[in-house]
Amino acid sequence: MKGERTKPGQILELKLSDLVNKEIAIKIHSDVLNCDIWFCGTEKMASLVKEEDPQAVIYSIKELIKLVELEPDVEEIRAIHNIKAIFPSSKIILGD
């Protein structure tokens, strides 16, 4: 998936709602996970990423928000990521 390159600091200016409203997908490299991960604002963007890179591990905006709420430590982040890598359709959910 080829898109526009960001400028240094540009991602910091994005709001989560921008990822949804503008149908944006962001690929970042995680030093903690030692791999690239994707944040996709919509299912449409997630499908486009998966179409181009079937091995991509994708986090939705809802999942990103839930991760922040969970405040996982490094080992928990790795465990969550490994599950998402093994089970590509898995989602992070919290009980209500």
On whether residue 8 sits in a domain, the answer given is: no
User: Which tens digit of pLDDT belongs to each residue from 12-38?
Assistant: 677 888 888 888 888 988 999 999 999
Q: Cα–Cα distance between 64 and 96 in angstroms, integer?
A: 17
On whether residue 11 sits in a domain, the answer given is: no
On whether residue 1 sits in a domain, the answer given is: no
Phi, psi of 60 (to 5 degrees): -80, 170
- Beta-carbon-side half-sphere exposure of residue 78 (alpha carbons within 13 Å): 7
The domain total for the chain is 1
On whether residue 34 sits in a domain, the answer given is: yes
Instruction: Output the pTM of the full model.
Output: 0.79
On whether residue 44 sits in a domain, the answer given is: yes
Contact 24, 44 (CB under 8 A): no
On whether residue 10 sits in a domain, the answer given is: no
On whether residue 9 sits in a domain, the answer given is: no
User: Which tens digit of pLDDT belongs to each residue from 39-94?
Assistant: 998 999 999 999 999 999 999 988 988 998 999 999 999 999 999 999 878 888 76
Determine the structural domain holding residue 24 and report its residue range. 17-86
pLDDT at 6: 66
